[in-house]
Amino acid sequence: MKKIIILLLAGIVLLSACSSGSDETSESGDNDEITAWAWDPKFNIAALELGEETYAAEDKEFNLKIIENAQDDIVQKLNTGLSSGTMKGMPNIVLIEDYRAQSFLQAYPDAFYDLSDHFNIDDFSDYKIEPTSFEGKHYGIPFDTGVVGLYLRTDYIEEAGYTMDDFNNITWDQFIEIGKDVKKKIGKPMMTLDPNDLGTIRMMIQTAGSWYLEDDGVTPNLAENEALKEAFRVYKEILDEDLAIITSDWSQMLAGFNDGKVVSVAQGNWITPSIKAEASQSGDWAVAPIPKLDVPKAVNASNLGGSSLYVLDVPGKEKAAEFLESTFGSDEDFYQDLVTDVGAIGTYTPATDGEAYKKEDEYFNDQAIVSDFSTWVDDIIGVNYGMHTYAIEDILIAEMQQYLDGQDIDDVMNDAQQQADAQLK
Amino acid sequence: MIKGLNRFKNNGLFVKMFIVMVVSIVLVSVLITLNTFRVSEKLFIDTFSITNNKIINQINTNFETFTDVISMSFHEVQQSDKIKAFLTEKDFDAKTDAKAYYNINEQMTSITSNIDIPGINMFLVGENGRSFSTNYVNWPISKELLQESAITENTYRDPKKIMFQYDPLNLDTKTSHIIASKPLYDRETESIYGLLYISIQENELNRFYDRYTSAGNDVVIIDQSGRVASSNQKDLIGHKEMDLLQYAKEKEEDKSNYNSLEVFGKKKIVISQHIPIMDFYLVNLIDKDLVMNNLIDTKSIVMISLLIVSVAVVAVFFITGRLTKSLKLLVSQISNMAKNDFDQYVTVDGNDETKQLATTFNYMLDELHDYVNQLIETQKKQREAELSALQQQINPHFLYNTLTSINIMVQQGNKEKSADTIYALVSLLENTVGNPNEIITVEQELENMRHYVFINQGRYGDRIKVNYFIAPECLNHGLPKLIIQPFMENAFFHAFNKKESGHIHLLIAEREDDLVCEIVDNGDGMEMNERRIIQHNKKNRHLFSGIGIHNVNERIKLLYGEGYGVELSSHLGEGTTVKIRLPIIKPNNFTKTQ
């Protein structure tokens, strides 16, 4: 009888051992995994993948999981995540557009991991430091520059009797004058404009070192903003002179230059791959410095877009920071690869002496465009993009319509100022 | 192997019982388990299909609400004069364009804000060449690409209807799309002035049913061309599944709850419904095996059955062992009984039944012994009675012969000799007829012998000499009456057929605690292998009594046991020796037995 009981017990133990064995799942892998959020598979995600590849040589264990989210989704998820206070589900690394960076840094400074010790700010362009820093701490490692250029169809301007020299360091008024002449001669408008996106206005006012907000990054600066008024004037004039094709989305904008409908493209350097996508136009393009506003201290250099990488204060932050430090933060060779493989121009100054930066581009008639862009990066006047770039822009889009309808610029701006003051309080 | 076989043979009962029990236990367990599986499977599938039908209805309702919202948007866009103006006006410059795009953005934003579906893009294309995306990022389509696509072609085919299609263009986005499209129609001019496309992200449709799916329980939504528009099985999306479409269409007519089908090479339960406005088919595929595996933990049930079976088998092993062990012991004891002359008792051990059996057997053994003893006793007595009866009979021939010779003696006038002979005969008769079973002393027997010999010598002359060698200490020992006489008689009448004369020695002595009488003659002798000496003499004329020599041995053994009896040795021409071995019977002993 005893034997039977022992046997029974043994059987039960065996059974329970069998059933429990299969339940064990390994979750240990998650600890070493660093997650990153980015939005463009061909650009910033490709750059992060390149970074991972480079870093893998140093740390074979390193595992970066890049999650693709639309930029709007990232913004929304960050806002809900950070405001709720729970960092659950937040990534280690997140890419944030410079225009929006302050809205996060100022609202949730504790949520971000201070990277001041992980890179040398002197190695990067000054204008990138302002949006990525808050209260003296540097939270973001600059990723790409949004340095803008004036891409020109050399065949069109030659046909109209102009040379590239005519576009070197000009003002927007000079640009309009040439544009009128070109339109008359060859019937092509100069550029595309999207009335629902004032990127062009932003680009224009930064040539004068001005922004929608005061230097404090909070107070709207519209009514007394001469640069902004000047930009509005230029914008209206371009439309009045019918020098633009109106677009409403990316594909229409691409169609504008890929189909040869416009003479120039005034955009950030990130448009280069899209221009080069039309192989038949190889050799027909050149890049000139962006025209400046006709105001004092304005320079022929500006920025449009561009983003930086931030580390959130969640487990794995040290590892994430080390990864960024040894790639985006200090690796000259990595920046050469970034230009060559991804087409992303960084703002890491020591890298500009590298081969890839000096390389001439056949498509642009052997112009060393990366080198040129890098030169212009240095000239960009840093501004505090502050917290409310897009909120103010929404107001301005509507006010622009009033202005186009013939309202006085001061009235329009006063109106905008009032709305902004009311909304952003 | 042979050893094992032997064990098997020895344990025949145990093995048989054990095998029968094990087979029954296993059979019962297997049948019950299988039946449990079968019954629960059927019950589960029935319940499952009812539940899933309800779920499918629920999903369909969700889809209806969804398509209502989409239809409403189409309606609003169709009704808007501003949108119509945007899509129809011509000859514009940059400034009017800018205003138009600003306005259309406002218009469309207000319409999209009413649609509470994330991730959509409403794409307008006008006959005037203008186009507008409300949310380009969600569906980065270009006008040119779209106009060449089958989506547009299908939309024109039935302009009155909102067309839902899977977008086969595979734009560079994370998710695939379902496109709702319809031409914008001007009733006054009876012309189409534009098209509205609404792109819906596949994962938005997924949302409607995703929470109902599980491993092996899949939902597939196929458009009217058989293309999978949405599914929780992402790799199916975009594939053409004509079989499934065919099945779903047939299912529309027949109203059964579910069907079992072979889909994607697996047994599936298929439930399907038509989504009316979208003209899609909602198909629920349930992987029978997988779901069943989740429901019934086959492994643990089988393990439990195995455990029960093994416990039962072990229990049966021990119980059967105990039962058969005592029985086996009993059987082996009984089968060894013959070797031990049936006087070894069976050990009373084991359980009640075997104990009882053993007791009964022992009792029976006792009875048997008693009976056999009785029988032996009876037979012995009977034999003794027979022998004594024979002993008492004095052969009439002997008397006749003796009396005849006395008569002759009297006629010859040999008065003295005849008187002696008569005396000898009288003494002989007196000693023999009196007590048939009597033990007499050697001396008395010797006396009888002398009388017998005297009578015979009187009749046949004294050519045969008889000598007596008797150890003096034997004279008082007892021996059964007429033990020696038959051998003496035998020697007289058969030993000297060829030889004219000879002698007979009678020797009596103690040897090895036995009393040994030897009758030795130097007559003809015989071949020892001829046993007829004992049987052949059927003519009893010379015999003194009914006792023959052949009975003597039997009689001695009957009286004193196997250690005693008669030994015969003879050589042809040399003579015969008869040795009679008897126990020593002291005078005080045999007087008691009298």
Within-domain flag for B108: yes
Inspect the interface and report whether the beta carbons of A194 and B101 lie closer than 8 Å. Answer: yes
Which of B204, B234, B268 is the last residue before a domain boundary? B204
Which of B140, B170, B204 is the last residue before a domain boundary? B204
- The average pLDDT across A255-265 equals 94
pLDDT tens track for B538-583 = 445 556 665 666 677 877 887 788 888 888 888 888 888 888 888 8
Q: Does A159 lie in the same domain as A137? A: no
How far out from the chain centre does Cα A102 lie?
14
Within-domain flag for B68: no
Within-domain flag for A5: no
Split at pLDDT 50, 70, 90, the class of A17 is very low
Split at pLDDT 50, 70, 90, the class of B349 is confident
Given a contact cutoff of 8 angstroms between Cβ atoms, the answer to whether B550 and B387 are in contact is no
Nearest CA in chain A to B174: A68
pLDDT value for B594: 39
Q: Does A232 lie in the same domain as A104? A: no
Which of the pair, A127 or B495, is modelled with greater confidence?
A127
- The whole-angstrom distance between B239's CA and the closest CA on chain A is 24
- The average pLDDT across A263-269 equals 94
Which of A353, A371, A387 is the last residue before a domain boundary? A353
**Interchain contact B142–A (C-beta under 8 A):** yes
b/e for A26-46, b at 16 or more Cβ within 10 A? eeeeeeeebbbbbbbeebbbb
Is the pLDDT reported for residue B92 higher than 80?
no
Residue A210, Cβ density class (10 Å: 0-12 exposed, 13-18 middle, ≥19 buried): buried
The CATH number covering residue B106 comes to 3.30.450.20
Q: Does A312 lie in the same domain as A288? A: no
**Interchain contact A75–B (C-beta under 8 A):** no
Which of B204, B227, B250 is the last residue before a domain boundary? B204
- The whole-angstrom distance between B63's CA and the closest CA on chain A is 25
Is the pLDDT reported for residue B197 higher than 90?
yes
pLDDT value for B122: 92
pLDDT value for B543: 63
Q: Does A101 lie in the same domain as A64? A: yes
Split at pLDDT 50, 70, 90, the class of B238 is confident
Sign for the pseudo-dihedral over CA of A129, A130, A134, A139: negative
Inspect the interface and report whether the beta carbons of B101 and A195 lie closer than 8 Å. Answer: yes
Range of the domain at A79: 33-145+304-353
- The average pLDDT across B293-319 equals 84
Weakest-pLDDT range from A318-327, B95-104, B243-252:
B243-252
Q: Which residues contact B72 (CB under 8 A, 6 or more apart)?
A: B114, B115
Which of the pair, B419 or B536, is modelled with greater confidence?
B419
Q: Does A187 lie in the same domain as A249? A: yes
Range of the domain at B532: 393-593
- The whole-angstrom distance between A274's CA and the closest CA on chain B is 15
Inspect the interface and report whether the beta carbons of A404 and B307 lie closer than 8 Å. Answer: no
Q: Does A176 lie in the same domain as A88? A: no
Identify each DSSP E strand in B434-588 by its residue range. 439-441, 464-470, 478-480, 502-511, 514-521, 565-571, 575-583
Q: Does A283 lie in the same domain as A170? A: yes
Q: What's chain A's average pLDDT?
A: 89
Is the pLDDT reported for residue B382 higher than 50?
yes
pLDDT tens track for A44-79 = 999 999 999 999 888 888 889 999 888 888 999 999
Measured over all CA atoms, what is the biggest interatomic distance in chain A, rounded to whole angstroms?
A: 112
Given a contact cutoff of 8 angstroms between Cβ atoms, the answer to whether A290 and A231 are in contact is no
Most confident of the ranges A264-278, B171-185, B469-483: A264-278
**In this prediction, what percent of chain B has a pLDDT beyond 70?**
90
The CATH number covering residue B424 comes to 3.30.565.10
Q: Which residue, among A39, A242, A249, A399, would best test binding to B if mutated, counting the most B CBs under 10 Å from its CB?
A: A249
Within-domain flag for B463: yes
Within-domain flag for A28: no
The CATH number covering residue A411 comes to 3.40.190.10
Q: How many domains does chain B fold into?
A: 2
Is the pLDDT reported for residue A19 higher than 50?
no
Contacts of A183 in chain B (CB under 8 A): none
Within-domain flag for A295: yes
Half-sphere exposure of B98 (CA within 13 A, CB side): 28
Q: Which residue, among B106, B107, B128, B137, would best test binding to A if mutated, counting the most A CBs under 10 Å from its CB?
A: B137
pLDDT tens track for B20-76 = 888 998 899 889 888 988 888 888 888 878 888 888 888 889 888 888 989 999 999
Inspect the interface and report whether the beta carbons of A242 and B95 lie closer than 8 Å. Answer: yes
**In this prediction, what percent of chain A has a pLDDT beyond 90?**
73
Nearest CA in chain B to A243: B94
- The whole-angstrom distance between A314's CA and the closest CA on chain B is 27
Is the pLDDT reported for residue A16 higher than 60?
no
Q: Does A102 lie in the same domain as A83? A: yes
pLDDT value for A178: 95
Q: Which residues lie across from B219 on neighbouring strands?
A: B284
Report the complex ipTM: 0.82
Is the pLDDT reported for residue B117 higher than 90?
no
- Amino acid at the residue B487: F
Q: Which of residues 79-138 of B touch A (CB under 8 A)?
A: 93-95, 97-102, 104-105, 131-133, 136-138
Inspect the interface and report whether the beta carbons of A239 and B315 lie closer than 8 Å. Answer: no
**Interchain contact B315–A (C-beta under 8 A):** yes
- Amino acid at the residue A8: L
Q: Does A193 lie in the same domain as A226? A: yes
Split at pLDDT 50, 70, 90, the class of B8 is low
Select from A356, A378, A360 the least CA-distant residue to A369.
A360
- The average pLDDT across B580-591 equals 76
Nearest CA in chain B to A254: B142
Nearest CA in chain B to A1: B315
Q: How many domains does chain A fold into?
A: 2
Q: Does A246 lie in the same domain as A191? A: yes
- The whole-angstrom distance between A152's CA and the closest CA on chain B is 20
Q: Is A286 helix (H, G, I), strand (E, B) or coil?
A: strand
Inspect the interface and report whether the beta carbons of A401 and B97 lie closer than 8 Å. Answer: no
pLDDT value for A27: 36
Q: Residue A216: count other Cβ atoms within 10 Å of its Cβ.
A: 10
Q: What's chain B's average pLDDT?
A: 82
Within-domain flag for A386: no
Within-domain flag for A23: no
Q: Give the one of A12, A70, A248 whose C-beta lies nearest to B133's C-beta.
A: A248
Sign for the pseudo-dihedral over CA of B17, B19, B23, B25: positive
Q: Does A228 lie in the same domain as A258? A: yes
Tokens of B546: 């009914």
pLDDT value for A3: 54
Which of A337, A353, A369 is the last residue before a domain boundary? A353
- What pairing do the DSSP bridges indicate for beta strands A140-142 and A148-153? unpaired
Contacts of B87 in chain A (CB under 8 A): none
pLDDT value for B535: 44
pLDDT tens track for A328-373 = 999 999 999 999 988 899 999 999 888 899 999 999 999 999 999 9
pLDDT value for A161: 94
Residue where the block lists tokens 């264990």: A61
Q: How far apart are CA B363 and CA B372, in angstroms?
A: 14
Q: Which residues contact B434 (CB under 8 A, 6 or more apart)?
A: none
Q: Give the one of A11, A72, A401 whose C-beta lies nearest to B102's C-beta.
A: A401
Within-domain flag for A90: yes
Q: Which of residues 344-383 of A touch B (CB under 8 A)?
A: none
Q: Does A281 lie in the same domain as A178? A: yes
Inspect the interface and report whether the beta carbons of B102 and A196 lie closer than 8 Å. Answer: yes
Inspect the interface and report whether the beta carbons of B94 and A7 lie closer than 8 Å. Answer: no
Q: Which residue, among A72, A240, A246, would best test binding to B if mutated, counting the most B CBs under 10 Å from its CB?
A: A246
pLDDT tens track for A380-423 = 999 999 888 999 999 999 999 999 999 999 999 999 999 999 99
Is the pLDDT reported for residue B422 higher than 50?
yes
**Interchain contact A242–B (C-beta under 8 A):** yes
Q: Give the one of B140, B142, B174 whose C-beta lies nearest to A255's C-beta.
A: B142
Within-domain flag for B500: yes
